[in-house]
């Protein structure tokens, strides 16, 4: 009796398993079809999809920007507590103000040097795990550099895009980069993780030194709008700012 | 037995229906989905209106249930009233609408990010101002489009707004743990930052 029960149970299980695999047989086909999906051209209001896309793409288009924004997240995670969310809030707010001034045409001298210094100094802070006594000092430092980054983005904007969607994409991308930094910074709770974060800070510092060296080279060819046009149109120029 | 026959009958009927297809009018830009549905779809196609309403709902929710309830009723009614006023107005241009949108993003985003303790009456006042301004420009735009079904579209907008505010304000009220409140405040700061940049775009376009 017991053997019969066992056999019956095994048969049931096999039947269920077959039924289960049949039920989900369509899934790989659906996934393959999804992977082959072409771009949908329907319902795009002229310029709008491009606006969000180019806004989201812009902060990722230069290693100097990526280094600084990830460093903000890393430093915030190292400092912990309120700093973890305060610094990534300050940076986009002040950065957008810098972008605003860039958009209305207010010039900012030493823009490239400021951006290079942001990677250099923020990388140093992470590498040395500097902990100022008052939170206002990191906020000011991050804010100043956010201003430089925002201004650079403001003067490099591509023409003919939807301002609102561009802005939303731009801010979301910036916040995402900070979140990447914070997520990496969560390793801070382990001793090996602390070392890894400091090494990452060292790498950002090294990049900052290179950016500063590049920024101090005499300007040769393109003007800012030409640069923006080139980077917006040609994918090959994605890492051009390195 | 009966069940199997019934299922086959249904299947046969469905297949028979497939042999008599009518023309599908869906997705036609010219006819739309009908005025009420066009209004319902408005917030899915207009991030400027949707995010402003979302920021206000989050602000109201963060200020407690009383503020949330007031916003829930004041915002759709004000939006509808503003829209009706806009339907009777001509001369729509995008510039004032963009300025109103940018200012509302900036103001509401900063209020959410800073988590300032506003009284419920002030939140209701902000909801009324936002609803009248955005609704007015919506109404003007509908009048300009010349569809002649603006009232029904506005009804669709107001109904969707009610649902949107109810959900987002409830989210704001429920944001009691510290991490949830921080997440809402960060979202507010992003909306505020988008508002600053949008203002720059508007001024950039004036040059």
Written in H, E and C, the secondary structure of chain A is: CHHHHHHHHHHHHHHHHHHHHHHCCHHHHHHHHHHCCCCCCCCCCCCHHHHHHHHHHHHHHCHHHHHHHHHHHHHHHHHCCCHHHHHHHHHHHHHHHHHHHHHCCCCCCCHHHHHHHHHHHHHHHHHHCCCCCCCHHHHHHHHHHHHHHHHHHHHCCCCCCCHHHHHHHHHHHHHHHHHHHHHHHHHHHCHHHHHHHHHHHHHHHHHHHHHHHHHCCCCCCCCHHHHHHHHHHCHHHCCCCC
Q: A85 and B182: CB-CB below 8 Å?
A: yes
Distance from CA of A49 to the nearest CA of B (A): 11
How many Å is the Cα radius of gyration of chain A? 25
Q: Which of A9-23, A39-53, A104-118, B59-73 has the least mean pLDDT?
A: A39-53
Q: A170 and B197: CB-CB below 8 Å?
A: yes
Q: Which of A40-54, B38-52, B146-160 has the least mean pLDDT?
A: A40-54
Chain A residues whose CB is inside 8 A of the B200 CB are 99-104, 154, 163
Question: What is the distance between the alpha carbons of residues B170 and B149, in angstroms, rounded to a whole number?
Answer: 32
User: A176-210 burial by CB neighbour count: b if 16+ within 10 A, else e?
Assistant: ebbeebbebbebbeeeeeeeebbebbeebbebbee
Question: Is this structure's pTM higher than 0.80?
Answer: no
Residue A17 has pLDDT above 70, yes or no: no
Residue range B73-77: mean pLDDT, rounded: 94
Distance from CA of A160 to the nearest CA of B (A): 10
pLDDT on residue B79: 93
pLDDT tens for residues A168-181?
A: 888 898 888 888 88
Chain B residues whose CB is inside 8 A of the A100 CB are 196-197, 199-200, 203
pLDDT on residue A133: 85
Is the minimum CB–CB distance between B71 and chain A shorter than 8 Å? no
Instruction: List the single residue in B182, B186, B200 with the smallest CB-CB distance to A154.
Output: B200
Instruction: List the single residue in B27, B189, B203 with the smallest CB-CB distance to A89.
Output: B189
pLDDT on residue A50: 62
Residue A3 has pLDDT above 70, yes or no: no
pLDDT tens for residues B135-171?
A: 999 888 888 776 667 788 888 899 999 999 999 999 8
Question: What is the distance between the alpha carbons of residues A71 and A73, in angstroms, rounded to a whole number?
Answer: 5
Q: A105 and B194: CB-CB below 8 Å?
A: no
Question: What is the distance between the alpha carbons of residues A15 and A22, in angstroms, rounded to a whole number?
Answer: 10
Q: Are B183 and B92 in contact (CB under 8 A)?
A: no
pLDDT on residue A235: 39
Distance from CA of A91 to the nearest CA of B (A): 10
Average pLDDT over all residues of chain A: 78
pLDDT tens for residues A190-239?
A: 888 889 999 999 999 999 999 999 888 876 555 555 555 544 434 334 34
Q: Which ipTM score applies to this complex?
A: 0.72
């Amino acid at each position: 009796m017991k053997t019969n029960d066992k056999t019956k149970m095994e048969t049931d299980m096999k039947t269920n398993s077959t039924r289960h695999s049949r039920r989900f047989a369509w899934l790989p086909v659906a996934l393959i079809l999804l992977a082959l999906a072409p771009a949908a051209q329907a319902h795009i209001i002229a310029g709008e999809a491009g606006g969000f896309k180019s806004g989201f793409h812009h902060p990722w288009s230069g290693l100097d920007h990526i280094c600084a924004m990830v460093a903000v997240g890393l430093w915030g995670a190292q400092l912990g507590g309120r700093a973890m969310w305060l610094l990534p809030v300050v940076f986009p707010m002040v950065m957008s103000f810098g972008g605003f001034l860039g958009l209305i045409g207010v010039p900012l001298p030493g823009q490239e040097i400021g951006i290079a210094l942001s990677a250099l100094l923020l990388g140093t802070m992470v590498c040395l795990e500097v902990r100022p006594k008052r939170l206002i000092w990191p906020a000011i430092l991050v804010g100043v550099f956010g201003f430089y980054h925002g201004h650079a983005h403001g003067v490099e904007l591509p023409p003919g895009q939807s301002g609102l969607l561009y802005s939303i994409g731009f801010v979301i991308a910036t916040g995402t980069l900070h979140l990447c930094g914070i997520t990496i910074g969560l390793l801070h709770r382990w001793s090996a993780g602390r070392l890894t974060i400091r090494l990452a800070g060292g790498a950002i510092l090294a990049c900052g030194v290179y950016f500063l060296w590049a920024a101090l080279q005499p300007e040769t060819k393109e003007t800012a709008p030409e640069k923006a046009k080139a980077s917006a149109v040609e994918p090959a120029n994605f890492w051009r700012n390195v | 037995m009966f069940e199997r026959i019934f299922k086959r009958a249904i299947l046969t009927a469905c297949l028979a229906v497939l042999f008599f297809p009518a023309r599908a009018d869906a997705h036609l830009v010219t006819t739309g989905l009908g005025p009420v549905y066009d209004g319902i779809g408005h917030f899915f196609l207009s991030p400027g209106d949707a995010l402003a309403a979302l920021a206000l709902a989050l602000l109201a929710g963060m200020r407690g249930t009383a503020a949330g309830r007031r916003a829930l009723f004041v915002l759709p009614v004000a939006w509808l009233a503003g829209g009706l006023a806009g339907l009777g107005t001509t001369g729509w241009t995008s510039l004032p609408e963009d300025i109103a949108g940018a200012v509302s993003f900036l103001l509401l985003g900063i209020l959410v990010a800073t988590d300032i303790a506003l009284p419920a009456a002030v939140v209701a006042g902000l909801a009324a101002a936002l609803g009248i301004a955005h609704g007015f420009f919506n109404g003007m735009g509908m009048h300009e489009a010349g569809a002649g079904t603006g009232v029904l579209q506005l009804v669709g907008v107001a109904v969707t707004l009610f649902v949107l505010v109810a959900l987002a304000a409830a989210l704001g009220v429920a944001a009691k743990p510290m991490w949830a409140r921080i997440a809402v405040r960060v979202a507010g700061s992003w909306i505020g930052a988008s508002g600053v940049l949008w203002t720059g775009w508007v001024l950039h376009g004036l040059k």
